[in-house]
C-alpha cells in the first residue's frame, strides 16, 4: 500500500494530542490510572495487591518507549518531506498570516496560567458584547468567546481553570426545596 500525503495527515489527526501525558500518568500511578480504578479484589480500595497491579506500569513503560520511537520516526519522515519540498517547490512558504493563525493561543487561558496550548479562533475586543470593550483586541478560543457572549462578562481565572479541567463553566449547584421556597413561587391572586 502506498498511502497519499492526505491519508497520512488524516491518520496523524486521529492521534490524541495528550497521548504522552496519559501514558505518563499511568506510569506515575496517577489517580486516574487503571491500577487505581475500582477493583473486585480490594473492594474498590484503590490498590491491587495481586500481580495484575504491576502490569499497568510495565505496559505504560513499554507504550511510552513505543510512543517516543514513533514520534522520532514521524519527525524524521517529516524532515525528509520538508527537504524534498525545498528541492521541488522552493517558493512554497506558508503565509505568515496562516502560521500566526495556526499558532495563536487563547489570551484568556494564558492569563489564567494554563500552560497547555488552547488555539484561538477569534481576535476581538468584545465591543458588541461588553458594556465597556477591551482596550485592545485579544485572541480567544471558542469556549471563552461563547462564555463572554452568554454571560456578558469576562470569565475569571478560576472559572477558566475549572473549565479547562472539567469542560464545564460552573460547578454543581445544590438546589434545596422547602415548603417556604415552593410557597414563594405560588401566585398570590385569586383564582378566576
Mean confidence (pLDDT) of the chain: 78
44, three cell numbers: 474498590
Whats the size of the chain, residue-wise?
192
End-to-end Cα distance, the chain = 79
Torsion angle in degrees (nearest 10) through CA of 131, 132, 133, 135 = -170
Q: Report percent pLDDT > 70 for the chain.
A: 70
Give the H/E segment covering residue 122. Answer: strand 122-124
**pLDDT value at residue 36:** 47
Lowest mean pLDDT among 7-16, 96-105, 175-184: 175-184
Separation CA 84–CA 91 (nearest Å): 13
Lowest mean pLDDT among 41-45, 111-115, 121-125, 169-173: 41-45
**Domain ranges within the chain, ordered by starting residue:** 5-93, 97-166
Instruction: Band the pLDDT of 161: cuts 50, 70, 90.
Output: very high
Q: Which residue did the predictor score with more confidence, 39 or 84?
A: 84
Q: Which residue did the predictor score with more confidence, 61 or 184?
A: 61
Separation CA 174–CA 171 (nearest Å): 10
Q: Is the pLDDT of residue 2 over 90?
A: no
Instruction: Band the pLDDT of 192: cuts 50, 70, 90.
Output: very low
What's this model's pTM, rounded to 2 decimal places? 0.41
Q: Could you tell me which of 154, 62, 67, 167 has the C-alpha nearest to residue 108?
A: 154
CB atoms within 10 A of CB 108: 25
Q: Which residue did the predictor score with more confidence, 23 or 187?
A: 23
Q: Report percent pLDDT > 90 for the chain.
A: 24
Classify each residue of 9-36 as buried b or exposed e, where b means 16 or more C-beta atoms within 10 Å of its C-beta: eeeeeeeeeeeeebbeebbeeeeebbbb
Amino acid at each position: 500500500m502506498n498511502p497519499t500525503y492526505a491519508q497520512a495527515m488524516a491518520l496523524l489527526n486521529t492521534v490524541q494530542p495528550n497521548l504522552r501525558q496519559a501514558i505518563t500518568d499511568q506510569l506515575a500511578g496517577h489517580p486516574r490510572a487503571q491500577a487505581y480504578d475500582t477493583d473486585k479484589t480490594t473492594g474498590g480500595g484503590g490498590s491491587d495487591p495481586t500481580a495484575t497491579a504491576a502490569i499497568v506500569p510495565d505496559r505504560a513503560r513499554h507504550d511510552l518507549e513505543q510512543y517516543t520511537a514513533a514520534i522520532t520516526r514521524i519527525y524524521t519522515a517529516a524532515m525528509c518531506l520538508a527537504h524534498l519540498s525545498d528541492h521541488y517547490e522552493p517558493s512554497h512558504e506558508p503565509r505568515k498570516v496562516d502560521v500566526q493563525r495556526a499558532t495563536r493561543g487563547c489570551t484568556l487561558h494564558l492569563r489564567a496560567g494554563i500552560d497547555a496550548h488552547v488555539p484561538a479562533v477569534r481576535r476581538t475586543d468584545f465591543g458588541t458584547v461588553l458594556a465597556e470593550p477591551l482596550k485592545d483586541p485579544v485572541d480567544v478560543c471558542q469556549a471563552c468567546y461563547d462564555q463572554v457572549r452568554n454571560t456578558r462578562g469576562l470569565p475569571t481565572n478560576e472559572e477558566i481553570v475549572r473549565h479547562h479541567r472539567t469542560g464545564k463553566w460552573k460547578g454543581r449547584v445544590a438546589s434545596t426545596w422547602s415548603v417556604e421556597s415552593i410557597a414563594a413561587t405560588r401566585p398570590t391572586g385569586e383564582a378566576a
